[in-house]
Amino acid sequence: MFLLIAAAALSLALAVPPLASWSWLPGPPAARAAAPPRVAIVFEHAGASLADLAPIYAMHQPFGLGIFPHKRYSVQIVRDAMAHGLVPILHLPMEARNPADTAPVAGAVWVRMTDAQITRIVEDDLASTPGVVGVSNHAGSRATADPRIMTAVLRTVKARGLWFEENRTTPASVASDVAARLGVRRVLITTYLDDPPVDIERKVRALIPLAQRQGSVLAAAHITTGTPRVVLRLLPEFRRAGIVFVPITEFLAP
């Protein structure tokens, strides 16, 4: 009987992949003595296509995934993202100074809206991306500089128990300040790997010495610029350098 139980336990243990096969975990105990340099990447603009996500899913790393509301695959991508260990985030379109930067996306926050309209649009956007754990701004150089707009947006974010990732698009942004005042957990991203979409490989590779020097680095990129494939190709270099990919949630300010 004992042997039977032991055999069953062994077969069960074998069915579960050993922890060491998860490449984002630090390697052998010796390598864990010093904290490894950490990199968090958020890939944004998901929603309209499934094909763009294949290289991201193939990496098995806890990247963030910014998903547009009301897109053909928004609901499915949130579900798939969670199944692949990604962090699903509503990528909330917000008014930019240059209208072309915001359009053409549905569910955008415009500064002419009343507070009640903003609450409703953010709620609608969240309803079209059920399961997201945070909200990030898409564009927003006009809206993120407006304390009233950011207060209305972030009150809704807080009411839903979510956090906010600021993509800073203007030095006049008050987004993170308002989030701090309202007690919304938040994280600021200022490093972009493909904006503009040139020299992407160099910028991705530059994360390695930057993370080694600073201990950690946060960066954002877009799924439509080819950046996910570049990261996939350079993954062995990150691994050799002892870099650990971590979820953006490790960097949330309380």
Q: How far is the CB of 91 from Zn ion (least distance, A)?
A: 6
Q: How far is the CB of 39 from Zn ion (least distance, A)?
A: 20
Give the interface with Zn ion as residue ranges (CB under 5 A). 44, 138
Q: How far is the CB of 206 from Zn ion (least distance, A)?
A: 21
Q: Nearest-CA neighbor of 157 among 192, 182, 177?
A: 182
Q: How far is the CB of 140 from Zn ion (least distance, A)?
A: 9
∠ Cα 62 186 196 (to 5°): 65
∠ Cα 99 128 158 (to 5°): 85
Instruction: Give 44 or 166: the residue with its C-beta nearer to Zn ion.
Output: 44
Instruction: Give 43 or 163: the residue with its C-beta nearer to Zn ion.
Output: 43
Instruction: Give CA–CA dist 184/158, Å, rounded.
Output: 6
Instruction: Give 61 or 137: the residue with its C-beta nearer to Zn ion.
Output: 137
Tokens encoding 124: 């609608």
Residue type, 252: L
∠ Cα 230 234 238 (to 5°): 135
Instruction: Give 38 or 144: the residue with its C-beta nearer to Zn ion.
Output: 144
Q: How far is the CB of 44 from Zn ion (least distance, A)?
A: 5
Q: Nearest-CA neighbor of 74 among 122, 132, 136, 159?
A: 132
Residue number of the CB closest to Zn ion reads 138
Q: How far is the CB of 100 from Zn ion (least distance, A)?
A: 13
DSSP string covering 137-191: EEE-TTGGG-HHHHHHHHHHHHHTT-EEEEE---TT--HHHHHHHHT--EEEE--
Instruction: Give 67 or 243: the residue with its C-beta nearer to Zn ion.
Output: 67
Instruction: Give 84 or 138: the residue with its C-beta nearer to Zn ion.
Output: 138
Computed from CA positions of residues 140, 86, 157, 48, in that sequence, does the dihedral angle turn out positive or negative?
positive
